[in-house]
């Protein structure tokens, strides 16, 4: 039994030396000051004394892009090839997005098909920069980004043994773009010789955190790539009439292979030219009266027809002599047109969500943007100091 006369005032205790918490935070310099209650002796808190911790209001975010490299066998890559591929794609992605290379990670892995390789490229950026990247990657449906990665891959000499053939031009396609508030997903449907249809695996529908979520907006496009070997890209682009005629011929060849009487016109077809020799990225917007999967099936089945139509059109161009548009040392006999597998692109965007942050701000634990709330950290820090005082 303790009598009043025996009661003594508990002495306030503090850490005598600077103590690190979690290897980063100074546990002896908290944002609040502790002292003993003059009556009970229990620990109490005073008002904030303004600690030296830095609060980050533009919190760290990640943006993940998943690409497929067609024509590159992952199983045939040796260790040096994997390292070279990871470094080249990382540097290309960093340069294209103006993100520091040490804040970009690229990881090659096995592809969905035997002759492809997947590359996951992740960016660690601020929330503001994340929104900029999301907008950047959606420009031209990610074609500029795909081209930057593709060019870096085709410039490598360490991966030649993994290509389908030594002359293969590896094609990059953006499969998935994911951030904390939305995603753009690409699915690929391939019709094989026996007429069956298979769908490549895709991730589930995008979700967002928060109490209020609106329905996502969805847009479907049909996409393919037409490659014209032996045609010189720079010569074509320097001749405006030839470029216009070539784009028009490709559109007409594609249109002729789409389902008839469902609303397709050349206005639904967009063609973008790029190097290698001449590569035409084709995007088809599906009208409300048509079905994207039906267009994919028809175009996939008529790829050879498209190849023949484009070859004939290039060989008989009226705006310029085809001989003047060929790569040096090439002849019309070298003209080869090929059409890649047709994809259905599903673009899903999420409207802003309504969320509340009770703490008002969030901090982060540095390296690689590992995020945590300041509240749990301060609570843990408070417990450690209380324990120190009552010992």
Please write the tens of the pLDDT for every residue from 55-85.
Answer: 666 678 888 999 988 888 998 899 999 999 9
Helices (H) and strands (E) in the chain, counts: 8, 17
Record the pTM: 0.43
Collect all residues with Cβ–Cβ distance below 8 Å to 259 and sequence separation of at least 6. Answer: 290, 294, 295, 298
Joined tokens for residue 93: 């992605």
Domains of the chain are 60-181 (3.30.70)
What local confidence, expressed as pLDDT, does residue 335 receive?
A: 92
Please write the tens of the pLDDT for every residue from 350-365.
Answer: 455 444 444 333 333 3
Please write the tens of the pLDDT for every residue from 146-180.
Answer: 888 988 998 898 888 888 776 667 888 888 888 76
Q: How distant, in Å, are the alpha carbons of 61, 75, 122, 130, 167 from that of 79?
A: 31, 11, 21, 32, 22
In angstroms, the CA 60 to CA 286 distance is 37
User: To the nearest whole number, what is the mean pLDDT of the chain?
Assistant: 75
Please write the tens of the pLDDT for every residue from 301-336.
Answer: 999 999 999 999 999 999 889 999 999 999 989 999
Q: How many CA atoms lie within 13 A of 58 on its CB side?
A: 8
């Amino acid at each position: 039994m303790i009598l009043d006369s025996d009661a003594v005032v508990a002495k306030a205790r503090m850490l005598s030396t600077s103590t690190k918490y979690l290897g980063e935070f100074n546990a002896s310099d908290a944002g609040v000051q502790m002292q003993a209650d003059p009556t009970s002796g229990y620990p109490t808190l005073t008002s904030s004394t303004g600690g030296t911790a830095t609060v980050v209001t533009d919190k760290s975010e990640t943006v993940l892009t998943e690409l497929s490299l067609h024509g590159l066998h992952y199983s045939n890559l040796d260790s040096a090839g994997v390292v070279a591929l990871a470094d080249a794609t990382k540097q290309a992605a960093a340069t294209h997005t103006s993100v520091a290379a040490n804040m970009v990670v690229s990881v090659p892995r096995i592809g969905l098909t035997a002759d492809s390789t997947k590359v996951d490229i992740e960016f660690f950026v601020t929330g503001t920069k994340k929104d900029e990247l999301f907008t950047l990657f959606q420009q031209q449906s990610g074609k500029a980004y795909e081209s930057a990665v593709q060019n870096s891959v085709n410039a490598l000499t360490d991966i030649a043994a993994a290509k389908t053939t030594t002359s293969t031009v590896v094609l990059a396609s953006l499969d998935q773009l994911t951030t904390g508030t939305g995603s753009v997903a690409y699915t690929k449907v391939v019709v094989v010789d026996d007429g069956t249809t298979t769908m490549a695996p895709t991730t589930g529908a995008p979700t967002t955190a928060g109490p209020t979520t609106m329905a996502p907006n969805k847009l479907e496009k049909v996409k393919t790539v037409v490659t014209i070997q032996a045609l010189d890209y720079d010569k074509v682009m320097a001749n405006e009439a030839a470029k216009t005629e070539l784009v028009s011929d490709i559109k007409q060849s594609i249109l002729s292979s789409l389902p008839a009487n469902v609303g397709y016109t050349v206005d639904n077809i967009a063609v973008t030219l790029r190097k290698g020799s001449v590569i035409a990225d084709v995007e088809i917007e599906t009208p409300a009266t048509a079905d994207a999967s039906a267009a994919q099936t028809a175009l996939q089945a008529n790829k050879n027809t498209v190849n023949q139509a484009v070859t004939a059109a290039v060989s008989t161009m009226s705006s310029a002599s085809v001989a003047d548009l060929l790569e040096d040392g090439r002849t019309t006999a070298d003209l080869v047109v090929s059409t890649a597998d047709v994809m259905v692109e599903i673009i899903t965007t999420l409207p802003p969500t309504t969320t509340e942050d009770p703490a008002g701000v969030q901090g982060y634990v540095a390296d690689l943007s590992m995020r945590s709330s300041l509240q749990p950290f301060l609570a843990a820090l408070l417990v450690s100091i209380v324990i120190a005082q009552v010992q």
